[in-house]
């Protein structure tokens, strides 16, 4: 069982998003939307909600309110620092 499933994130959703991110245009839209994110942003519930909305729109994925709340909880609990390479490696390993 992948670690993200413990948070209630479905493997189908992750696989769809991963497939969409293989498209260079979609990947670039996500990088543009989320490239400026800081650690503080990823610990603020309102900002995380907004970022999830931007990211899902960038890949053309519609999320239910429940999925959004699950993703918000996941992001907040990971305590991600996007400037820390070890945090990024940890995330990468979660979704391989």
Mean pLDDT rounded to a whole number for the chain: 92
Confidence of residue 95 (pLDDT cuts 50, 70, 90): confident
Q: Domain coordinates of the chain in residue numbers?
A: 9-94
Residue located via tokens 């994130």: 9
Contacts of 58 (CB under 8 A, 6+ apart): 26, 29, 30, 32, 33
pLDDT, tens only, 23-32: 999 999 999 9
Contact of 80 with 37, CB cutoff 8 Å: no
pLDDT, tens only, 48-71: 999 999 999 999 999 999 999 999
Contact of 82 with 51, CB cutoff 8 Å: no
Q: What angle do CA 33, 12, 51 make, to 5 degrees?
A: 20
Confidence of residue 2 (pLDDT cuts 50, 70, 90): confident
Query: What 8-state DSSP symbol labels residue 52?
Result: H
Q: Is pLDDT of 96 > 80?
A: no
């Amino acid at each position: 069982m992948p670690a993200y499933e413990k948070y209630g994130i479905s493997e189908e959703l992750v696989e769809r998003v991963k497939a969409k991110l293989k498209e260079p245009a979609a990947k670039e839209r996500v990088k543009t939307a989320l490239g400026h994110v800081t650690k503080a942003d990823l610990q603020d519930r309102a900002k995380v909600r907004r970022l999830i909305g931007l990211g899902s729109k960038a890949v053309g994925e519609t999320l239910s309110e429940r999925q959004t709340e699950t993703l918000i909880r996941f992001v907040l609990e990971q305590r991600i620092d996007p400037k820390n390479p070890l945090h990024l490696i940890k995330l990468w390993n979660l979704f391989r």
